[in-house]
Amino acid sequence: MADKFMSMKNLKFTLFSRKGKYPSDTPDYLNDHTPKTIDMIFKAAAELAKKTMHPMFEEMDRNPPSLKNGQVHVHEGVKPMLETLGKDGWIAAGFPEKWDGENMPSSLLLCINFIFATANYSASVYAGLTMGAAKLILSFGSKQVQDTYIPPMLSGKWQGTMALTEPEAGTSLGDLCVEAIPIGKGQYKINGEKIFISAGDHDGVENVIHLMLARIKGAPAGAKGISLFVVPKLRPGDNGSLIENDVIVTQLFHKLGYRGAPITGLRMGEKDNCIGWLVGKEHKGLSYMFQMMNNARLEVGMGATAIATSAYHAALDYCRTRLQGRKITDPKDSIPIPIIQHPDVKRMLLFQRAVVEGSLSLILQCGMYEDILACDPANKDCHLLLEILTPVAKTYPSEMGILSTSSAIQCFGGYGYCDDFPVEQHFRDMRIHTIHEGTTGIQGLDLLGRKVVMEKGRALILLKQEMEESIKTAKHHKNLDGMAQDMAEAMTILEKTTMVLGTLAREKGVEAYLADASLYLEMFGILVIAWQWLIMADAASHALKNKNSNKKDTLFYNGKIHVADYFFSHELPKMKGLSETLTNKTKVTLDMPDDCFT
Amino acid sequence: MADKFMSMKNLKFTLFSRKGKYPSDTPDYLNDHTPKTIDMIFKAAAELAKKTMHPMFEEMDRNPPSLKNGQVHVHEGVKPMLETLGKDGWIAAGFPEKWDGENMPSSLLLCINFIFATANYSASVYAGLTMGAAKLILSFGSKQVQDTYIPPMLSGKWQGTMALTEPEAGTSLGDLCVEAIPIGKGQYKINGEKIFISAGDHDGVENVIHLMLARIKGAPAGAKGISLFVVPKLRPGDNGSLIENDVIVTQLFHKLGYRGAPITGLRMGEKDNCIGWLVGKEHKGLSYMFQMMNNARLEVGMGATAIATSAYHAALDYCRTRLQGRKITDPKDSIPIPIIQHPDVKRMLLFQRAVVEGSLSLILQCGMYEDILACDPANKDCHLLLEILTPVAKTYPSEMGILSTSSAIQCFGGYGYCDDFPVEQHFRDMRIHTIHEGTTGIQGLDLLGRKVVMEKGRALILLKQEMEESIKTAKHHKNLDGMAQDMAEAMTILEKTTMVLGTLAREKGVEAYLADASLYLEMFGILVIAWQWLIMADAASHALKNKNSNKKDTLFYNGKIHVADYFFSHELPKMKGLSETLTNKTKVTLDMPDDCFT
């Protein structure tokens, strides 16, 4: 297995290339964190990832969780890993000091998650889920619920989950039907079934705490009748004891990848003895969940980015060392060359790097908006920018990550198809991300149906301003003139396409407007990633002017600009075909009669 | 598991829609086969596929081959399957009567392979490999070798293989180094190692016959020093006995998918007792192999098409029955609808159908050229058309099949990621096809570096004529006017791009010309599949004029035209972006310095 699964240099470069502030400065939104403290944090995370998570990357896949006598058993390394993550403060890092946390900015938490997930995606999700669940409790739970659950969760002793999906309600959350019957004191009897619950049960922890959506008996139908509950596997009894709470594991899903983490089905209240605690107000569950969803979607994008990054580094390592063939212009009897020297192999590596580094940059852009908002919750512009970029930050890395990991396999040839190398696992681990936390179809509807039109299109206007600012800055570097021009042209394509769709909405209605929303998202994503590459090319060009750069730095910055060139010459032109499809007045995806499918 | 894994109606429609001959006629190149006999053959094949192959589709994947004491063990169903395929004449079907065959045209053999592979791709390859190996013996082997090997191979008792790849020579076959030392009577001592040999050993047969490339001691270096041998696992001794031939299985590869077939490493001559028989002349091995390679590449394309077809039918079945969500225009309290009614789900199904039916059509187009050539080997035009289309017929189904099976997973949501449904296996089974029998990179170089330029570009001119003829015919149907026009425009894009690349070759050399050959192949493939959709839309429009069509037929033909519309509105425009990239004078994939990759 390749030793290197990420580039620390690139992570720091990307983090510091936001907003015209260049490597030596620290952006304001990172609070008190200096490049030096950040360096220490990242190094510690990488050390932990390398020692604790990476060694079980394959093992966790080859020996997936098992269900025996109602208990899910996971890899024996999960328990000590969670203990360490708790003890060393990684799970609590983003929480206030009151909870022994450090109020760490979202940007840095995303970077840490990235480091962990490049080492072992499955291993990284356990703590991530706990953080998300604890955050929900912190935001909306009563003091009693907070005091009961947050400390053991942040210590790594208790697992947190997000329990949304039901057998008949996946994408369509308004149709949820797990029932909650009030029994007083903010307590409810819970009854029903959930499926696809990540880390829904396992023996690496003492207890599992489900943040569960359910419908209080008599609540309104649809999304407006859903409430949020804490439903523990074991509920706290007297004197610190823990009592079985009638939550049964009904099944363990056998998955294509992401096998190191157990995904379970759950049955609550079979013996009418499952108790849940209401979190926040009645019927507000879905809105609470969605307040956390933005960050959850960024984390999904980051997970996808991390997996593809790891695959890229494995492929790069192989392409540098594997000798095969010779250049077309070489004599036929010359010795074989490292395959990285073949242009088609270079193309595949450039593609992977363009995808993974562009994705990383976008997610850190969103992290920045989250952090600015955390300092200044009234910053409406920042909120709108985060809203419009989130579906892209979730989807681009996930969709393109499938192609990127596939391209990593291709670099290995036949070996890539075999489990002697890690890339076939990366390819499998990747495939979940276009599905969980809202499918690509849902993200498309969210972008075009809600985010583009909200507040009379203000989010799109703000994004355009951000992009224009980046173009303006980039123009200071002569070598970026072409890119800046292409970027401006691409923005026009987006604008025109959006206008045509707006007209279509008025003339033919909302269904026609949204018929190809996924493709709109795809096109939008290409533009947004081009913008990120412009930002990075700008930062790299700036850094190259520093006469003190050593040779390694110079190669890195030049490489950045080359990859940006690749993105602009090979990826950005795809917008044209997509725009043509989207502005086509015939909506074949709407018009095709169901019974014509055969 | 879905019962339906292919559409017989579509297969026959596609077979009969070639060359302006419509359903009721039988094209000349199918020899004596009438629609009625073809129907009987296909039905028998489907019956066999359903009864023998499909029931072990999952089992063969979940219980992959094992290596014990040097013997590879496969699923117990393989042996009776091969006996049946032999006994009932399926393996011999394409061979002359002398060998108890039926001289069956290539088009029909491809269709039969399609039927088998939709049921169970791994199961279908065993006999396919034997046919290919036996065909090589028939074409180039001595009478003695033919008499010894062909009958037991065609009976299904002996397995055939193609043994090309070596640890240090995958794509670069000229570097092969397995050695052959002459010992007289056309016999050679064989020494060396091979890897990635499909069906390289198994207990479903009595013997395994390797058609192996090796280098006779003292032969010239490179491709011109490679010869072809028959190297059996057990060599014929006196009185019909079989003797160990010193071929050892060194390893069994653990693969992402395609797990039902064993892929092995082999070591020949460890005890200096491995004998091979020269096939044909010395040093001609690679050219013999490549004479069979065209058909092998069509078979790879067909395998990919079959897998994606099976995934499509599973997804279609699910989308018709799974209830979830409602239309945007429906009241919120209305009951959930089958997900096939959501435009985004329709888009995914349309995409899959566009890919799989377009691919099938292209491969049958190539099958037609093979059959015309078989009747008239001097037909140079036909040969050139087959040459230029083969890299596309291998690559388009394989590359797009990855996306198509991925899209099938997406239709299932979370369930698609789990092994309760077959699509995650299809996704894994699919991924080998862009690698084996020449990677996509190699196909790109073959197309742009050899096929486009051979005989002063004559193949491209002929293809253009074929396309123009299809446009002319399609114009008889008014509903196809738009498509015909788009097709003509797309042909211009190809022509212009090819010309710009030609200029680049003269100005900047062959490396720059070929730098993005894979993208040229991608663009070329889109055009070729658009052409196939035009042919099918034409045939469907023609059939719709038949007043005797029943409702089911009408739906089918209308569906065809809708999918063609989808291809022209959603896939064809992708050519524009690709053309822009290809005609960009900066060749970033060539210029990126190796050490800038980090």
* pLDDT value at residue B24: 41
Shortest CB distance from A511 goes to which of B328, B440, B597? B328
A154 assigned to some structural domain: yes
Label residue A185 exposed, middle or buried (CB < 10 Å: 0-12, 13-18, 19+). exposed
Q: Among B344, B350, B517, whose Cβ lies nearest the Cβ of A518? A: B344
Q: Report if residue B259 sits inside a domain.
A: yes
Q: Within an 8 Å CB–CB cutoff, is residue A434 touching chain B?
A: yes
Tell me how far apart the alpha carbons of residues A389 and B171 are, in angstroms, rounded to a whole number.
Answer: 42
- Residue B141 CA to residue B231 CA, distance in Å, equals 12
Query: Do B336 and B208 lie in a common domain?
Result: no
- For residue A371 the two structure tokens come to 């952090």
Question: Which DSSP state fits B272?
Answer: S
Residue-level length of chain A: 598
Q: Does B2 touch chain A (CB under 8 A)?
A: no
Burial degree of B156 (CB within 10 A; 0-12, 13-18, 19+): buried
| Interface check A329 vs B, CB under 8 A | yes
Residues of A with Cβ-Cβ distance to B169 under 8 angstroms = 324
Does B419 sit within 8 Å of A598, measured CB to CB? no
Provide the β-strand partners of residue A180: A190, A216
Across chain B, which has 598 residues, the per-10-residue mean pLDDT values are 84 83 59 88 97 97 97 98 98 97 95 98 98 97 97 98 91 89 96 97 98 96 94 93 97 97 98 97 94 91 98 98 92 90 97 98 96 93 97 98 98 96 98 96 97 97 97 95 98 98 96 96 98 97 88 95 98 98 92 93
Which residue, B243, B259, B283, sits at the end of a domain?
B283
Q: Is B317:B372 a contact under the CB 8 Å cutoff?
A: no
A446 & A511 share domain: yes
DSSP secondary structure string for all residues of B553-568: HHHHHHHHHHHHHHII
Tell me the pTM. Answer: 0.97
**Range of A381's domain?**
288-586
Q: Do residues A362 and A349 lie in contact, with contact meaning Cβ atoms separated by under 8 Å?
A: no
Instruction: Please give the backbone phi and psi of residue B21, each rounded to the nearest 5 degrees, phi first.
Output: -105, 125
Q: Name the one residue in this structure whose structure tokens are 């099958």.
A: B367
- CATH of residue A250's domain is 2.40.110.20
Using CA coordinates, name the residue in chain B closest to A172. Answer: B325
Contacts of A474 (CB under 8 A, 6+ apart): A480, A483, A484, A487, A534, A535, A537, A538, A541
Question: What residues 6-25 of chain B have any CB closer than 8 A to a CB of chain A?
Answer: 7, 9-10
Together in a domain, B229 and B301: no
Q: At residue B345, what is the residue type?
A: V
Q: Which residues of chain A have pLDDT under 50?
A: 1, 20-24
On whether the CB atoms of residues A182 and A188 are closer than 8 A, the answer is: yes
Tokens 């990848």 found at: A257
Q: Examine residue A96 and state whether it is found in any structural domain, yes or no.
A: yes
Q: Do B182 and B275 meet the contact criterion of CB atoms below 8 Å apart? A: no
Query: Does the CB of B544 have a partner CB in chain A at under 8 Å?
Result: no
Q: Which of A283, A312, A343 is the last residue of a domain?
A: A283
Residue B16: count other Cβ atoms within 10 Å of its Cβ. 21
CA-nearest of B381, B355, B357 to B368 is B381
CATH code for the domain of A474: 1.20.140.10
Query: H or E element: which one contains A525?
Result: helix A517-544
Does residue B10 fall inside a structural domain? no
pLDDT tens-place string over residues A181-232: 999 999 999 999 999 999 999 999 999 999 999 999 999 988 899 999 999 9
What is the SS3 string spanning B492-536?
HHHHHHHHHHHHHHHHHCHHHHHCCHHHHHHHHHHHHHHHHHHHH
- Domain assignment present for residue A12? The answer is no
CB-facing half-sphere around the CA of B428: CA atoms within 13 A: 33
What would the two tokens of residue B159 be?
């397995």
Of A253, A344, A563, the CB nearest to B518: A344
Q: How far is B95 from chain A (nearest CA, A)?
A: 31
Element (H, E) at A48: helix A35-48
**Pairs of residues, one from chain A and one from chain B, whose beta carbons lie less than 8 Å apart:** 303
Residues A294 and A343 in one domain: yes
3-state secondary structure B32-44: CCCHHHHHHHHHH
Interchain contact A325–B (C-beta under 8 A)? yes
Residue among A299, A370, A424, A437 flagged as catalytic: A437
Asked if A592 lies within 8 A of B562 by C-beta distance, the reply is yes
Tell me: do A167 and A64 sit in the same domain: yes
Asked whether residue B494 falls in the same domain as residue B349, the answer is: yes
Closest CA to A400 of A445, A433, A443, A438: A433
Collect all residues with Cβ–Cβ distance below 8 Å to A61 and sequence separation of at least 6: A122, A257, A259, A260, A425, A428, A429
Cα separation, A107 vs B105, in Å, equals: 63
Residue B18 lies in a domain: no
Same domain, B237 and B368: no
Look at chain B and report how many structural domains it folds into: 2
* Domain match, B433 and B416 both: yes
Task: Name the β-bridge partners of A235.
Answer: A243
For position A265, what pLDDT does the model report? 97
**Per-residue model confidence (pLDDT) at position A21:** 42
Q: Is residue A65 part of a domain?
A: yes
Exposure string of A122-136, with b = 16+ CB inside 10 Å and e = fewer, is: bbbbbbbbbbbbbbb
Question: Which of B253, B283, B313 is a domain's end point?
Answer: B283
Query: Quick one: A295 and A275 in the same domain?
Result: no
* Interstrand relation of A158-163 and A207-216 (parallel, antiparallel or unpaired): parallel
Measured distance CA(A153)–CA(A134) in Å, rounded:
7
Flag whether B24 is in a domain: no
Task: Give which of B444, B450, B586, B457 is closest to B512, Cα–Cα.
Answer: B586
Q: For residue B323, what is the nearest residue in chain A, using CA coordinates? A: A168
- What is the rounded CA–CA span in Å between residue A85 and residue B523? 49
In this prediction, residue A26 carries a pLDDT of: 60
- B421 and B437 fall within a common domain: yes
Taking the C-alpha atoms of residue A253 and residue B52, their distance in angstroms, rounded to an integer, is: 28
- Are residues B231 and B248 both part of a single domain? yes
Q: What are the chain B neighbours of A413 within 8 Å (beta carbons)?
A: 170-171, 435, 439
User: What residues 562-591 of chain A have any CB closer than 8 A to a CB of chain B?
Assistant: 562-563, 565-566, 569-570, 573-578, 580-581, 584, 586-591
Q: In the numeric block, which tokens belong to residue A333?
A: 């009897």
| Same domain? A225 vs A299 | no
B 397-416 residues with CB < 8 A to A = 402, 406, 409-410, 413-414, 416
DSSP assignments along A405-454, one per residue? HHHHHHHHGGGGGBTTSTHHHHHHHHTTTTTTTS-HHHHHHIIIIIITTG
Among the listed residues B179, B193, B370, B437, the single catalytic one is: B437
With contact defined as beta carbons under 8 Å apart, do B405 and B397 qualify? Answer: no
Bridge partners of residue B277, in order along the sequence: B187, B230
Give the minimum alpha-carbon distance from A596 to chain B in angstroms, rounded to a whole number: 4
Is B179 among the residues known to form the active site? no
Q: Are A372 and A581 in contact (CB under 8 A)?
A: no
What would the two tokens of residue B5 be? 């894994």
